[in-house]
Amino acid sequence: MIIHKLVLAALVLTPPALAQDRPVPVAARGDHVAISVSDLDRSADFYTRVFGFPELKAPVRNRRWLDLGGGFAMHLIPDRTAPVGVDRGNHLAFAVADFDGFVAMLVRDGIPFTDFEDKPSTIQRLRTDGVRQVYIRDPDGHRIEVNDAARQR
């Protein structure tokens, strides 16, 4: 009789989470970002020269893959036929450890940069967490944020 009461108490006190009808979702992680480009070699050169991203061996012909770190890649696909959008909110973002050195490289190499509002040669300092940002464009016009958030990690 005591065993029956213990089993009954265990069943009543079992949390509902143990009796879920649906599976628990698997946590996802980023794998890659793919962008359409008009000139594969020119775009690959830009990303390797400006950001230092090493090239990965692409298992598909006529593609270039770049290692963004942490198991995340950029796939360059040479099929851009439509203009790149101008919406400022759509952009890639990369953090650099030496933000001042990166901005100096942009100036030295004549790569234009802006703040979020597209004010030329201006460093964005409006984030409440103190992160500084600049925005550049790749050869096809894709907008790229570069910030110093890496110093906070």
User: Average pLDDT for residues 75-87, to the nearest whole number?
Assistant: 89
User: Average pLDDT for residues 84-91, to the nearest whole number?
Assistant: 86
Token digits of residue 71: 């198991």
* Tens of pLDDT, residues 94-129: 999 999 999 999 999 999 999 999 999 999 987 888
For the chain, what is the largest distance between any 2 Cα atoms, rounded to a whole number of angstroms?
85
- CA pair distance 21, 17, nearest whole angstrom: 9
3-state secondary structure of 120: strand
**Dihedral, CA of residue 32, residue 35, residue 40 and residue 43, to nearest 10:** -90
For domain 30-82, give the fold: 2,3-Dihydroxybiphenyl 1,2-Dioxygenase; domain 1 (3.10.180)
* Tens of pLDDT, residues 28-51: 889 999 999 999 999 999 999 999
Spell out the residues 6+ positions from residue 30 whose beta carbon is closer than 8 angstroms to its own.
72
Q: Which helix (H) or strand (E) holds 45?
A: helix 40-51
What is this structure's pTM?
0.80
CATH architecture of 84-153: 2-Layer Sandwich (3.30)
Domain boundaries along the sequence of the chain: 30-82, 84-153
* Tens of pLDDT, residues 8-27: 444 445 555 555 577 878 88
Give the Cα-Cα-Cα angle 139, 115, 99 (nearest 5 degrees): 80
